[in-house]
Structure 1
Amino acid sequence: MKKYAIIDLDDTLLDFTRGENEGVTQLLRENGITDVQRGLATYVQINRNIWHQIELGADRKPLLDRRFTQAFGALGVTVDGLALEKQYKSMLDHNYYTLPGAAAFLANLKRAGVTVIAGTNGTKSIQLNRLRGSHLTTYFDNVFISEDVGFDKPDKRFFTPIFAQYPTMSAANTVMIGDSLHSDILGATNAHLDSIWFNPRHVAGSADYRPTHEVDSFTALEQLLLA
């Protein structure tokens, strides 16, 4: 059994995609986009590229502040991108959706004596508010957020304050769990930790990323962690 579990939040425990789709859909409709599916696909691709740049070390604020300008521009509509970014962040603050079974999974880890740590990329105020609103805060011993840490996964420096807080952590007793091959699995590799790829959507893997394990449910994840 692992002593420490560092767990990603978005699309690992919190249903970020559901809240994202609802928020972006509302913004698209409010600004005259009738082909919502095309609009969503356009935003998702631009946002994915932006977060890839952030994970490579780019300054997050200017990139995030112009993502809606870029997305709506690609759809042929001029908007106040900064105003939409503020509106969208307010929506995210109230995205309390969790993946089915997440709370029970965390409760079982806690009951078994595992030290559960959140390790997430994102904006500090939004992530903390979503944790509180989803009633998952109580399950975590600590929460580490990239905006606060100063580095995003997969940068190994994201894990530096975690290791400092928990000096008995080691490759043998600690595992990183997440849905993202790039940020979570590569991040674990860079930090010399075992990793578990949480892949309930059965996304195709890549030879560029080598998780220690792959699971598609909280049941399988719990069995693996507590074995």
Structure 2
Amino acid sequence: MFKYVIFDLDDTLLDFSRGEREGVQKILKEHGIKDIDHGFQIYLSINKHVWEQIEAGKPSQKLVDTRFESTFNKLGIKVDGKKIERQYRNILNHNFYTLNGAEKLLQDLKKQNLTLLVGTNGIKHTQIDRLNGSGLDKYFDHYFISGDIGFNKPDKRFFVPIFKAYPDLSKGNTIMIGDSMKSDILGSRSAGLKNIWFNPKYAANNFDFKPTFEVHNYREIEEILKDN
């Protein structure tokens, strides 16, 4: 039987993609970019590379401070990348969008007396502000955030504080739920934990490992947790 459930946040419970799209597009418009879709695709490509480096263990703040400067360089505009990053961070802090059904899922799991934990990559104050603003904060007993821990998933050292905070937490009574095969599923595997890949878009698994479970909606998550 599961006792602990560790949740990723972005695109697992919180609708990060929607907030990201709105925030970046707003910044592009403010700097006179006409082809917003083209500019956004450039940003996504650069940001993907930035996060690949962060997940490989490189310093996060130094890297995220480069993503807007690099984006606008490709668009032929010189900007203060750090200043724009601060502006974007403020926008993200107020991204309170949740995925449809996320709160009901958490309500139902709490009724099962499960201990719900946050285990997410990101900057601490941003993630906490978004949890509080979305109203999902009340369902969680503890937050574990890479910006506070000092290590990003999939590094197994990300999970060390979780094991320390809950000495009885084990692979037999704990499961990680997340949308990213690389950070959530590989990370939980490296820590010896079972996992659920939340895959509502039916993305292909291009990795040489598999999740413990794969689901496409919240109802399937509830079924797994009821059966185990």
Normalization by structure 1: what TM-score? 0.98
**C-alpha deviation, 1:125, in angstroms:** 0.5
Find the counterpart in structure 1 of residue 181 from structure 2. 181
Partner SS, residue 110 of structure 1: helix
* Divergent runs of 4+, >6 A: none
Separation in 2, partners of 1:140, 1:103: 12
Find the counterpart in structure 2 of residue 226 from structure 1. 226
Structure 2 unaligned runs (5+)?
Answer: none
* 1:148 to 2:153 alignment: no
On the 8 A contact 1:15/1:99 being kept in 2, the answer is yes
Separation in 2, partners of 1:72, 1:202: 32
Listed as ranges, the matches of 1:1-227 within 5 Å are 1-227=1-227
Separation in 2, partners of 1:7, 1:93: 19
Separation in 1, partners of 2:92, 2:34: 23
Partner SS, residue 177 of structure 2: strand
- Give CA-to-partner distance per residue, 1:119-143, whole Å, 9 cap, x none: 0000000000000000001000111
Partner SS, residue 118 of structure 2: strand
Larger CA deviation: 97-106 vs 32-41: 32-41
**C-alpha deviation, 1:48, in angstroms:** 1.0
Larger CA deviation: 35-44 vs 118-127: 35-44
Larger CA deviation: 154-163 vs 69-78: 69-78
**C-alpha deviation, 1:91, in angstroms:** 0.2
- Give CA-to-partner distance per residue, 1:72-131, whole Å, 9 cap, x none: 111222111111101000000100000000001001111101110000000000000000
Partner SS, residue 211 of structure 2: coil
On the 8 A contact 1:197/1:215 being kept in 2, the answer is yes
Separation in 2, partners of 1:198, 1:210: 12
CA RMSD of aligned residues (A): 0.8
Residue identity in the other structure for 2:200: P
Separation in 2, partners of 1:114, 1:209: 28
On the 8 A contact 1:67/1:81 being kept in 2, the answer is yes
Separation in 2, partners of 1:207, 1:53: 18
Partner SS, residue 224 of structure 1: helix
Separation in 2, partners of 1:121, 1:23: 19
Separation in 1, partners of 2:124, 2:55: 16
**C-alpha deviation, 1:226, in angstroms:** 1.7
Partner SS, residue 154 of structure 2: coil
Separation in 1, partners of 2:171, 2:200: 25
Partner SS, residue 204 of structure 1: coil
Residue identity in the other structure for 1:10: D
Separation in 1, partners of 2:207, 2:22: 33
